[in-house]
Amino acid sequence: MSGNADLVLPDLTGYDAVLFDLDGVLTPTAAVHMHAWRAMFTQLFADWGITPEYSDADYFASLDGKKRYDGVAALLRQRDVEVPWGNPDDGPEAETVCGIGNRKNVIFAQILRDEGVEPYPGSVRLLDLLRDVGVPVAVVSSSKNAVEVLTAAKLLDRFPIIVDGVVAENENLPSKPAPDVFLVAAERLGVSPARVAAVEDAISGVASAAAGNFALVVGVDRGTGADALRAAGAHIVVDDLDELVP
């Protein structure tokens, strides 16, 4: 556990609902996203002569937990590179923020098709527990691929409410760390944030849930670091959701 030896871990069955991020919380697709971003930006930076070269630190600083196009813009801005925003239907060859984001998504979709995805067993056990006691759940993800990932992981039927990157774009909801996506999910479940737990693995996602004043913010440390998750607003940090299953 991430420094919880002397703490009594919370019972999530006591909350009115539990909201889950997807990548890195329910499925190990965060690694697939990292792989796709790395492949795309490494080639882009080489083609454009951008330095320093892309590293995984860029993923955590500029991309993790954010909507795809916002992440592209943030990382390019960090390298003092400005390109037109473009449109969401830009082709992957377009030299726009949207085109670059769509280029990454082509790579991500190919990896997902080639390799598939299995949910974390501990996350499935927690979902089973919440289903058995009737606690509503929702997915809150910045990804536009949430439905595809949930389908590949055989989890789609678990979540009647999904607030993902598609919903955020269609409804003009700002990216995490703004709280809007979590608040919309709670509203659609008909529950108050003051009675809801949120589960996140990204710094921006933890900050989003904390900004929404959710009753409990659980950080899942898949490599971000427990201290960083707590600093962002996590009330408790675990290494795996199995720790929250009695």
Active site residues: 21, 23
The token pair at 70 is 């916002």
The token pair at 192 is 């108050």
The token pair at 77 is 């801005």
Where are the extended beta strands (E) located within 99-167?
Answer: 137-140, 161-163
> Which one-letter DSSP state was computed for residue 27?
B
Amino acid at 45: F
CA distance 190 to 67: 25
CA distance 238 to 2: 5
